Amino acid sequence: MASWRAVSMHFNPYDLGFLALAPISAVASLRLKRRLHVAAAVTAVALGGWGLAFASEACEDARVTALFDSIPAPAASDIHRYSADAATKAATVIFGFPLSLAYATFWFIGIRSGQRLLRRGRDA
């Protein structure tokens, strides 16, 4: 079973993209002045994060498939255990966008609040 742990230890670039998308976009959106534009940016980042969550699931599925292809005769119970569970996909569909929206909102509020505090400190 050591080979199964090796699958989960691989680097997934889509997870890094998900984690980096919101803070980078929040800093890039500091020039936006209208609230509607900021709200549109938060929504776009949340949709992008949702897409990256789907890509991450697909990447993990490809890794498990590659692992099964590399094993000469995988046990039927292992194949069933890893192919019958669609809970992660269902969770991504149902909770992916709200989670991504909350994550993006957290970063946008944090970055914009920090900018206001810095601006007040300079003006005082």
Answer yes or no: are the C-beta atoms of 11 and 97 closer than 8 Å.
no
Per-residue model confidence as pLDDT tens digits over 5-33: 554 557 788 999 999 999 999 999 999 99
Query: Locate tokens 């609040």: which residue?
Result: 113
- Which pTM does this prediction carry? 0.78
Cα gap 55→14, rounded to integer Å: 6
> In the predicted model, is pLDDT for residue 3 greater than 90?
no
For Cα atoms 65, 66, 67, give the angle at the middle one, nearest 5 degrees: 90
Answer yes or no: are the C-beta atoms of 57 and 89 closer than 8 Å.
yes
**Nearest C-alpha neighbor of 39 from the set 98, 84, 105, 91:** 105
What are the structural domain ranges in the chain? 13-123
